Amino acid sequence: MIYCGIDWAEHHHDVALVDTPGTLLAKRRIGDDVAGYRVLLDLLAEYGDTEDTPIPAAIETSRGLLVAVLRQGKRQVFAINPMAVARYRDRHGVSRKKSDPGDALVLANILRTDMVRHRPLPRDSHLARAIAVLARAQQDATWNRQTMANQLRSLLREFYPAALDAVAGWQNGLCRPEAREVLRIASTPSRAARLSLAQLRSALKRAGRRRGIDAEARRLREVLRGDYAHQLLLVEEALGKQMLALLGQLEAACTAADDLAKAVEEAFPRHPDAHVITSFPGLGIQLGARVLAEIGDDRDRFADARGLKAYAGSAPITRASGKKHYVGRRRVKNDRLNHAGYLWAFAALTASPGAKAHYGRRREKGDWHAQAQRHLFNRLIGQLYHCIHTGELFDEHVAFPSLLEAAA
């Protein structure tokens, strides 16, 4: 067999081909453009690459146009962790020398010696890949929105505590359109104290509020005119300009998160697995799309449910040596799927009596909150693996039979 290793960079890529005995057959540097990709495909075809028997390739990334070109057809593409490549590099020499062509050769030799120990990129459908792009982007936008809200809150604590008290009772706080509209017309405490009821009512209407406008405007005026400490006037004006700059960034982050959420709502329901995923308690469109984005729809990606649990980080890991035996949480995992699983388990507590009983039983055994939720996520994702492969919907009585009887 022939094995291909590619060391990628921003402007060029180094390619190495080796055979089964480990002989270097060819090495080439290609550009990161269409011409370079054609040179790569021609080089592979020269050494026996066909549509039915493609040459496997190893690279240190799973994204980009080069990977998209390689994944066309039946070719197996292996995304090798750079830390693992560094360990393999030490197997061939102790001088710790490093070069781009040398790394390409190391990647090819990884497939030659240990290809069965590495997992190729999944063969997900085009729709699943598109959902993955949208769901991950929406997750990033949500995290970015919260980061900007935290920065804005930290700044308001320095000179504008009335604004924080005004939005304290609102869900999503500073991320609400009403909060952003009020801060836009009242960038400092002095300006906020001069706002009239008519101005506050207009601001709430522009933000999209339809009910309780008069009562909310009176409450806001009372809070904004409260007795608070103030910065010096010039300092307050400067902080107000800084706040408006952060408010603009928060506005952009909120818009991006909302637009991407709408895109996910349009794409996810079209997937064949969507009805199975959303049948589980605690999984809606947004969270279900995040789960699908990470597990994909390649049925051969995981050999069994245990593999998926380990990938999600819900299954514990055991370290045993001599008389020492340690069982703890898994740190090497898919962080996005693990984060979605934490939210999934938390939402399932109120949506599923069986899940709540399972969580309570783990707490009675001495688990912390996070441990009990991780245990619940471990059980739910194993059931999801079964339902996706069989096409069955979630059934509360089948999922938690003994726990429901105990709860009753």
Do 315 and 390 sit in the same domain of this protein? yes
Task: Report yes or no: 44 and 38 within 8 Å, Cβ to Cβ.
Answer: no
Neighbouring residues of 241: CB distance < 8 A, sequence distance ≥ 6: 187
Do 256 and 135 sit in the same domain of this protein? yes
Measured between alpha carbons, how far is 248 from 231 in angstroms, rounded to an integer? Answer: 23
Do 214 and 259 sit in the same domain of this protein? yes
Q: Is residue 125 in some structural domain?
A: no
Q: Which domain holds residue 206?
A: 130-266
Note the pLDDT tens digit of each residue in 332-342: 899 999 999 99
Measured between alpha carbons, how far is 25 from 120 in angstroms, rounded to an integer? Answer: 23
Q: Is residue 150 in some structural domain?
A: yes
The secondary structure of 145-182 as a DSSP string is HHHHHHHHHHHHHHH-HHHHHHHTTSTTGGGSHHHHHH
Measured between alpha carbons, how far is 362 from 385 in angstroms, rounded to an integer? Answer: 22
Q: Is residue 56 in some structural domain?
A: yes
CATH number of residue 112's parent domain: 3.30.420.40
H/E segment holding residue 232: none
- 220-230 as b/e: b if 16+ CB within 10 A: bbebbeeebee
User: CB-based burial of residue 403 (10 Å sphere; 0-12 exposed, 13-18 middle, 19+ buried)?
Assistant: buried
H/E segment holding residue 16: strand 12-19
Do 258 and 309 sit in the same domain of this protein? no
Q: pLDDT value at position 130?
A: 95
Measured between alpha carbons, how far is 265 from 253 in angstroms, rounded to an integer? Answer: 18
Note the pLDDT tens digit of each residue in 26-39: 999 999 999 999 99
Domain count, the chain: 3
Q: pLDDT value at position 321?
A: 84
Q: pLDDT value at position 406?
A: 58
Q: pLDDT value at position 332?
A: 84
* Phi/psi of residue 177, nearest 5 degrees: -60, -35
Closest C-alpha to 113, from 105, 121, 122, 123 = 105
Note the pLDDT tens digit of each residue in 241-290: 999 999 999 999 999 999 999 999 999 999 999 999 999 999 999 999 99
Tokens of 137: 């982007």
* Residue showing tokens 């991006």: 256
- What 8-state DSSP symbol labels residue 226? S
Q: pLDDT value at position 317?
A: 86
Amino acid, res. 206: R
Q: Is residue 88 in some structural domain?
A: yes
Which ranges of the chain have pLDDT less than 50?
none
